[in-house]
Homo-oligomer: A and B are copies of this chain.
Amino acid sequence: MNINETRELLENVKNGSLAIDKALEDLKDLPFKDLGYAKVDNHRELRVGYPEVIYCEGKTPEQIRGIVEIMLARGSDILGTRASEEAYKLVKEICPKAEYSKMARTITIKNKEPETTNTYISIVTAGTSDIPVAEEAAVTAEIFGNKVERIYDVGVAGIHRLFDKIDLIRGAKIVIVAAGMEGALASVIGGLVDKPVIAVPTSVGYGANFGGLSALLCMLNSCASGISVVNIDNGFGAGYLASMINKL
């Protein structure tokens, strides 16, 4: 119930066309119902004009197609993350313009060309194995209407490669750094770039990496200011947050 509907209700009470008991009944759910339409924003029910997002992990291809079908009926742009190729094939049947990124494991459906930002987001990886997570971030940022620059495989083990690209990285409004074995990269970039850095630890690696724990701790302990961290492998979260900041 929005503000206009509430005003209408009060007017109907005033002019007698609505009984007070009936009005009380209608107001009963106000606390919670009201929250929904007006202010709440989450990654599943986003604001008007925003893509709708499906987290595909643990859903069957049929379930995913079903969800897409409903969203298409609403005319939404759609982003499916952690999607298998099988899911994509089923989606493709009902929506031929659906696209699939094997690397990012995303399904994307764009119904209207999004207005793209002038500023861009730099997405940096330490190694080639961190690219899938980076691509999830990149595809997310793009479908939310951001320009993205990819700077991949510039880990600190060969730091001159990073320096070759440092101006491109610095030109961004916000930087995402995805790294598994080399969580160090976030610190180094944080020290070289005067922009917010979102660090994404990846589960890439072996041994004492412990599924991304090493990179996660390394990034959290960084002395360079301006760095914050999202969950291991959470490319979507990084892309979404970067988009949010890029549009401030």
Interface residues of A (CB under 8 A from B): 3, 6-7, 10-11, 13-14, 16, 20, 23-24, 27, 29-36, 39-45, 47, 57-59, 126-129, 155-161, 163-164, 166-167, 170, 173-174, 181-185, 187-188, 190-196, 198, 201, 203-218, 220-234, 236-237, 240-241, 244-245, 248
**Most chain B CB inside 10 Å of its own CB: which residue of A13, A29, A159:** A159
User: Given the complex, which residues of B lie within 8 Å of A227, measured CB to CB?
Assistant: 230, 237, 241
When chains A and B are docked, how far (Å) is the Cα of A217 from the Cα of B182? Answer: 10
Inter-chain contact B35/A223, CB cutoff 8 Å: no
When chains A and B are docked, how far (Å) is the Cα of A237 from the Cα of B232? Answer: 20
- CB-CB nearest in chain B for A21: B7
Inter-chain contact B220/A231, CB cutoff 8 Å: yes
Inter-chain contact A195/B228, CB cutoff 8 Å: no
Which of these, B11, B42, B203, B216, contacts A225 with CB under 8 Å? Answer: B42
A-B contact pairs, 15 of them (CB 8 A): A6-B27, A7-B20, A10-B24, A27-B30, A29-B164, A36-B164, A42-B191, A47-B194, A156-B187, A181-B222, A182-B223, A196-B244, A215-B221, A218-B218, A220-B230
